[in-house]
Amino acid sequence: MATSDVVTLEDGTFDNEVLKSEIPVLVDFWATWCGPCKAIAPVVEQIAVDFKGKVKVGKMDIDKHQGVAQKYNVRSIPTLLVFKGGKVIDTVIGSDRTRLLESVRKAAS
């Protein structure tokens, strides 16, 4: 689940929270039954703390909110998309901590 530094995203809030954000946004598409999602969750939460004010971090449960996941062709989870200026600038599939941190650092700079 999302912490105070991680925004819980829904199909209805996605545009305002992500596409219209002034800062880059990391979106974690996940599900409660997904083992790799649970493995990467602490990293996602730490990114929210470490990059607070530079990168917004949100989590979207694909079982509850399927519209956005379908729009962005999320076919496996975890899928983590990095948005900047309303566009996807990077995609990380799976629980690759190093690759995820590299992507977020690049977006924040």
Positions annotated as catalytic residues are 34, 37
Place of tokens 């470490």: 50
Dist. CA 76–CA 30, nearest whole Å: 9
Beta-sheet strand order (sheet of 6-8): 6-8, 56-61, 25-30, 79-84, 87-93
